[in-house]
Structure 1
Amino acid sequence: SFLNVFIYLAQLIITIYLYRVFHVHRVGKAALDSVKLKGRSFLTLKDFNAEEIKHILWVSADLKNRIKHRSEYVPLLQGKSIAMIFEKRSTRTRMSTETGFSLLGGHPCFLTPQDIHLGVNESTTDTARVLSGLADIVLARVYSHSSLEHLDKDASIPIINGLSDLYHPIQILADLLTLQEHYGSLKGLTLAWIGDGNNVLHSFMMSLAKLGVNLKVATPKGYEPDANVTQEAQLLSKQFGTKLQFLTDPMEAARDSNVLVTDTWVSMGQEEEKKRRLKDFHGYQITMQTGSVAAPDWTFLHCLPRKAEEVDDEVFYSPRSLVFAEAENRKWTIMGLMVCILTDYTPQIPKLKF
């Protein structure tokens, strides 16, 4: 009868729902048992294995789903505070961290060089100890990576690298989530870096191989990535069976690549070198011609702010450009990272495919 069919369908729906809830909880618990992130600092992706990086991205995607798509209030950081030290100006790092921490119920405290000048008005050791008693976590955007290492050594709370001269790991988390969302998985992709051998590239070099992503790097002579980072990246590539190439020809790097990436050619503090740098990087602008030799599904990334000499408008504003999704994901990934470091949160969505 109709009633029996209705009862059967209702029981089936309830069974499927309970299975999904149990399965997600069980998978989430198993993942948490194997990944230990709470209380750890985040200075470089070199210190994090594949499962740990994947877990951070999983939590990030979960928060994005709950807060953005389901309009939930998720006060996981209620009662907590973050000290944000900025030696360098920023749009995305400041906005993503400040709004993200507030959205999770916490209190962000923004500190400029006028408020806190590391190692000048007060020693870095004393600053680390003072902030350890006033905040739950520190994000520092600094010139020298050694400043972060000094803070981390003397602080009793976690330190997050908001950018240094050597690494920019929180940018890479956003890039990886953006690519995972677009392609559905990361393993087997080839990323072509076309530009300066800088801190963003260094962070790609410390993470991509662990996730099964190949990397081709094209830089002008004299602008190669750091030699120690290169040596470590070569070891990772060999360990995980990925391809790593260093070239000087942008077109050769782009050939058959899925993702074309560049960044500023003149970083903060390099303004006096601008004229020489623009000359040395002639021919490195990413255009549709560059993309013509890439894989059919090629996309473009840039961590911003962007200058026209690095990528032309046709590429930057095209459907192949993921730069604005990438910029938004800075928020969800820094939120995911902070939740991982400060809580034992279990994501509610199924694990992402990598």
Structure 2
Amino acid sequence: MTRHFLTLLDLTPEELGYLLQRAVELKTMQRTGQFHEPMRGKTLGMIFEKSSTRTRVSFEVAMTQFGGASIFLSSRDTQLGRGEPVEDSARVLSRMVDAVMIRTFDHGTVETFAQHSRVPVINALTDDFHPCQLLADMQTYVEHRGEIKGRKVVWVGDGNNMCNSYINAARQFDFQLVVACPEGFEPDAALMADNAGRVSVVRDPREAVAGAHLVTTDVWASMGQEQEQQERARHFAPYQVTPALMDLADEQALFMHCLPAHRGEEISHDMLDDPRSVVWDEAENRLHAQKALLEFLLHGQH
């Protein structure tokens, strides 16, 4: 049966744990110059309806290091952008490539594509979820602090696709999540209800981060929301993550941001350079976590 990765819930907690362990192994192998080419002769189709830096580079490099190939397809390059039904594109592409990665707006697009695809489909970001980023985030925490189970994680800012994926992560990796956001910017209500015992909303970010083991945030206006930037800045101004805010967290707390960051907005100008910040490791780990994911979807556990 073809496995897909549209949200973190598509894999079991045990499989996700394996992916993190495997990502660390693959990272070590790459750094010590060990060649591992399970994708020789295989091709990843990469569909981008939203622009990207980290996602495109990490998936392309992953396939190159694995001995495979990747094809970049923007909406300008495919019939998807000209109104071909998603299911027809899925039927055709999945007869030619070995896996498909999609970065788009509507989460329904990746769901429909997966339903009609013969090969694994990976959600590389939709308006609702960003599960690949969570693999990298969880790998980064494990590398620096060990198991995240039972820890307190605080999301500061907009209840967006990243926040929704953190809710799924709380369920799958068994940690407590506190969301600090202004009224009207809460994460998905159904997701919140499904995880009521694990996720809570607190309005005051200072109260939220008290004793936190991981503090994370994202831009105030996601792609497609740029026209709301000024209005959002007014609501989110008290939610900037600063070293002073981090001082209220546990002394072993880490800070993460999925990037790109807007210094002076959701974070202070000096936050990325704070010793508690692990954002550069987090960004690099997109490569290693996605290599583990690709290997798992095409070849199973090793």
Q: What is the TM-score with the length of structure 1 in the denominator?
A: 0.83
> RMSD of the TM alignment (CA)?
1.3
Residue 240 of structure 2, aligned match among 278, 285, 290: 285
- 1:9-30 per-residue CA deviation (whole Å, 9 max, x = no partner) reads xxxxxxxxxxxxxxxxxxxxxx
Paired residue for 2:184? 222
- 1:161-205 per-residue CA deviation (whole Å, 9 max, x = no partner) reads 000011000000000000000002212221110000010111110
Question: Take 2:270 and 2:92, find their aligned partners in 1: how far apart are those partners?
Answer: 49
Residue 174 of structure 1, aligned match among 129, 136, 146: 136
Paired residue for 2:155? 193
Matching of residues 64-143 of structure 1 within 5 Å: 64-68=27-31, 70-118=32-80, 120-143=82-105
Matching of residues 21-36 of structure 1 within 5 Å: none
Residue 327 of structure 1, aligned match among 283, 291, 299: 283
Residue 225 of structure 2, aligned match among 264, 270, 282: 270
Paired residue for 2:116? 154
Identity fraction in percent? 38
How far off its partner does 1:124 sit? 1.0
> Could you tell me whether the CA contact under 8 Å between 1:195 and 1:262 is conserved in 2?
yes
Paired residue for 1:56? 19
Gaps of 5+ in 1: 1-37, 347-354
How far off its partner does 1:233 sit? 2.2
How far off its partner does 1:256 sit? 0.6
Question: Take 1:44 and 1:65, find their aligned partners in 2: how far apart are those partners?
Answer: 26
> Could you tell me whether the CA contact under 8 Å between 2:8 and 2:172 is conserved in 1?
no
Residue identity opposite 2:223 in structure 1: M
> Could you tell me whether the CA contact under 8 Å between 1:59 and 1:340 is conserved in 2?
no
Paired residue for 2:262? 307
Residue identity opposite 2:105 in structure 1: Y
Question: Take 2:171 and 2:248, find their aligned partners in 1: how far apart are those partners?
Answer: 23
| Bigger shift: residues 111-120 or 122-131 | 111-120
Question: Take 1:123 and 1:226, find their aligned partners in 2: how far apart are those partners?
Answer: 27
Residue identity opposite 2:291 in structure 1: M
Rg larger in structure: 1
Question: Is 1:41 paired with 2:4?
Answer: yes
Question: Take 2:119 and 2:18, find their aligned partners in 1: how far apart are those partners?
Answer: 21
How far off its partner does 1:212 sit? 2.5
Q: What is the TM-score with the length of structure 2 in the denominator?
A: 0.96
Gaps of 5+ in 2: none
How far off its partner does 1:292 sit? 1.9
Paired residue for 1:232? 194
Paired residue for 1:211? 173
- 1:264-294 per-residue CA deviation (whole Å, 9 max, x = no partner) reads 1111100111110000101100112211211
Question: Take 1:269 and 1:49, find their aligned partners in 2: how far apart are those partners?
Answer: 32
Residue identity opposite 2:158 in structure 1: D
Paired residue for 2:200? 245
How far off its partner does 1:244 sit? 2.4
How far off its partner does 1:228 sit? 1.3
Question: Take 1:250 and 1:285, find their aligned partners in 2: how far apart are those partners?
Answer: 9
> Could you tell me whether the CA contact under 8 Å between 2:2 and 2:118 is conserved in 1?
no
How far off its partner does 1:48 sit? 2.2
**Secondary structure, aligned partner of 1:206:** helix
Question: Take 2:112 and 2:81, find their aligned partners in 1: how far apart are those partners?
Answer: 10
> Could you tell me whether the CA contact under 8 Å between 2:45 and 2:73 is conserved in 1?
yes
Question: Take 2:56 and 2:21, find their aligned partners in 1: how far apart are those partners?
Answer: 22
> Could you tell me whether the CA contact under 8 Å between 1:143 and 1:164 is conserved in 2?
yes
Question: Take 1:106 and 1:83, find their aligned partners in 2: how far apart are those partners?
Answer: 11
Paired residue for 1:296? 251
